[in-house]
Amino acid sequence: MLLVMDVGNTTTVVGVFDGEKKLAHWRLSSTLHTSDEFGVYLLTLLGTKGLSPKQIDGAVLSSVVPFLDGPVCEAIRTFFEVECLRVNASTDIGMEIRYAAPLEVGADRLVNALGGREKYGSPLIVADYGTAITLDVVSPDGAYLGGVIAPGIHSGIAALFGKTAKLPQVGVELPPFVIGRNTNESIQSGVLFGNAGLTDRLVEMIQAELKLEKKISVVATGGHADLMARIARCIDHVDPWLTLDGLRLIHGRNSKSP
């Protein structure tokens, strides 16, 4: 079985595959820092699904938090006795990268692009709603072109709360109206409907820039994918665990390499 992990600034996503079948997946807060913490946490997660660490014979990691890469890989080596493949821009992912500075691309963005291309074809835009909102673009011939990075939903709410004297911290809930009837609803409306409009407009501009005659397909992923798909008009598919599928594909490609 394959253990897959994507470590983000706010959340860490973990999954287990048996071949192409996803047996389990979890979305956790990124609050762990030591290899022992990661190891115990992973063992506990597997235990909730009746899985043994001895069943894990492969592991793959993407991360945008470099100082956690070492502890995660050490935990997997110690507790599961396997070496973890770390995905970065130099990893053979089976996709041409046409970014001007390939080493600057977050591993999660490449993983999402590959997973999206394999599941939904190309051209494609993958909209990932995490700490940041990223739109990653796959060309008609299947290459990674680049994309857009914007502040995420939680980032926007936290910025309002942290930088203003009277605005409260609010939950990520869809308000009943665009015109908020109180301060909480007003903030939720601005952040959620505002980001839906941002997504729609950026997709429209990408479509025009690529000079595509047919509408480009858009897949939403990340923790708020379901919510944003309800209010952004451009989204065609919702796949909250797309990153895990991309990691599985990359591991399969590299484990077969001589």
Task: Mark whether 108 is an active-site residue.
Answer: yes
The CATH architecture one would assign to domain 121-241 is 2-Layer Sandwich (3.30)
User: 6-15, 114-123, 155-164, 173-182 — which is least confidently predicted?
Assistant: 155-164
Domain parsing of the chain, residue ranges: 2-86, 121-241
pLDDT for the residue numbered 77: 96
Task: Provide the pLDDT confidence category of residue 258 given band limits of 50, 70 and 90.
Answer: very low
Long-range contacts of 229-238 (CB under 8 A, 24+ apart): 230/174, 231/174, 231/192, 231/193, 231/196, 232/127, 232/195, 232/196, 232/197, 232/199, 232/200, 233/196, 233/200, 234/199, 234/200, 234/203, 234/204, 235/127, 235/199, 237/120
Q: pLDDT tens digit string along 238-248?
A: 999 999 999 99
- Average pLDDT estimate for 202-213: 95
Instruction: Find out whether 122 and 142 touch, Cβ atoms under 8 Å.
Output: yes
How many angstroms separate the CA atoms of 237 and 218, rounded?
6
Q: pLDDT tens digit string along 28-78?
A: 887 878 999 999 999 999 999 999 999 999 999 999 999 999 999 999 999
- Average pLDDT estimate for 213-235: 95
Task: Choose which CATH entry (3.30.70.1450, 3.40.50.300, 3.30.420.40, 3.60.20.30) describes domain 2-86.
Answer: 3.30.420.40
- Helix, strand, coil content of the chain in percent (nearest 5): 40, 25, 35
What is the residue-averaged pLDDT of the chain? 92
pLDDT for the residue numbered 256: 65
pLDDT for the residue numbered 8: 87
pTM check: above 0.85: yes
Active-site residue (options: 18, 36, 69, 108):
108
pLDDT for the residue numbered 31: 81
Buried b (16+ CB within 10 A) or exposed e, 119-149: ebebbbbbbbbbbbbbbbbbeeebbbbbbbe
pLDDT at residue 189 is higher than 50: yes
Q: pLDDT tens digit string along 98-132?
A: 999 888 898 999 999 999 999 999 999 999 998 88
* Equal CATH topology for 2-86 and 121-241: yes
Cis amide leading into 102 (omega within 30): no
